[in-house]
Amino acid sequence: MPSFDIASKVDLQTLDNAINTVKKEIDNRFDFKGSHVKIDLDKKEYKLSLEVESEMKMKQVIDVIISRSMKQGIEASAFDFDKDAYTSGKYVRKEVSVKNGLKQDDAKKIVKAIKDSGLKVQPAIMDNIIRVTAKKIDDLQDVIALCRTSNFGLPLQYDNMKS
């Protein structure tokens, strides 16, 4: 039976390249000359630590992170900017987590949307992926189209297509 996997993952090397590109751009930008900007990537936790002088510069750094990451192939929805920035001393700090892997409740939402669509497929949650099987490949392609049009707030990849 044909099947494929729905996953939500970020390649660590691509993320590292994107962050290094962001650091280079900020070092070369005129509006950041002489100002304190610190960007650290925790590769084990998939977290970014940002430290700048003001809220305005924080917004500019976030814009650069999003634009450079998208050029590297990382979707903007992979970053979780929900936590508010906090002031510590004379710097503004922010922790940004990178979404990696499907959480159980997100996987349940996706499976529910697939089942509610009425397509003749069988979605199954397996750890941090969803395996979708069907009798026809056309049904699987309909599921991919459904997931692309639905807004789950996650960067989804469709891997391991087998016929």
Domain ranges of the chain: 3-8+101-162, 12-98
Q: What is the pTM of this model?
A: 0.84
The pLDDT value recorded for residue 151 is 86
Evaluate whether 3 touches 132 at the Cβ level (below 8 Å): yes
Residue range 3-8+101-162, CATH number? 3.30.70.860
**If the chain, 163 residues long, is cut into consecutive pieces of 10 residues, what is the mean pLDDT of each piece?**
92 94 93 91 94 93 94 92 88 92 91 93 92 93 92 88 84
Q: CATH topology of 3-8+101-162 equal to that of 12-98?
A: yes
CATH for 12-98, options being 3.40.50.12240, 3.30.70.990, 3.30.470.20, 3.40.640.10? 3.30.70.990
- Token readout for 97 is 């987590």
* Angstrom distance (rounded) from CA 159 to CA 78: 17
Q: What angle do CA 104, 109, 112 make, to 5 degrees?
A: 120
Give the model's pLDDT for residue 46: 92
Q: What is the pLDDT of residue 162?
A: 87
